[in-house]
Structure 1
Amino acid sequence: MTSFISDQDFTTPAHTRAAGPPPYPDFSDISSRPRPRTLPLTVIFLAAVWLVVSAVPFGYIGAGRYDMFWNDAVTGITLAVVTAIRLLKPGVTGFAAVTGGLAGWLLMAPLVLQYGWSASTWNDVALGLLILTCAAIGPEPQPR
């Protein structure tokens, strides 16, 4: 009967016994590997979070403008989910168009919902332009 200790080779150094890749990553070819450009998607995600969070301080509910509150909340949550999918699954296609459509809606919402000239109008227009710009320069989906 053998035990764990008796099956081990203690005379050969560990670095020569190890079979397989080294325990540290090989960074020798890091510059030759293609890297996805995730900065624009990260900016879109942060803008979507700001869109949801900013609905409260702008006081839509206090002014009785539930349509503006729900517009920003639903658009922000949808943008955050779509962008998270694009960040986690880079090969998925079709979500770039959804991002562009939601940014276009943010640009049109003040006119359609008749916000008037308020801070919420400037917030939606600025975020719409930022998201549309980041969606245009963002990574293209790569076929798998």
Structure 2
Amino acid sequence: MPLPQLNVYRHDRKTRTLITLAGEIDLETVPLMHAALERCLRDGVRTIDVDLASVTFCDCSGLNAFIEAFLTSTTAGRTLRLHYPPPLLTRMVDLTGCDFVLMGLPAVPGPAPLQAPHSSVLDPLPMTRSETVHRLGPAVSDGVL
């Protein structure tokens, strides 16, 4: 069985983290994404920014995982923000009325994030030598890291 097609990159900056997802978010890859978001909360991260510009597909299991992560982080007094959601995810959010997950951030359909890398939607996280950069994934078929 082939490995799920999702890569998760984590860039830490004190109590703020940028999670960059690349590939497909579906039933097979959601456990990897969910584990990365949970790990951020366990590590005491206060703000989690999730860059979805390189996500090529996201199904309803991905939306459910984002809703759960949003509710968990909000309950814990933390912030989870999704940036540059793919058009299919934006459409699902509109259809289900779960726009609170995007926290009012504008969707950037198609390749716009590549054309406007200095968008004010996602504040850059300056990196220093003392910061941690993790590369997680791809996951094995049962979702274990």
* Larger proportion of strand: 2
Which TM-score band applies after superposition, normalised by the shorter structure?
A: under 0.3
TM-score, normalised with respect to structure 2: 0.26
Larger of the two Rg values belongs to structure: 1
TM-score, normalised with respect to structure 1: 0.26
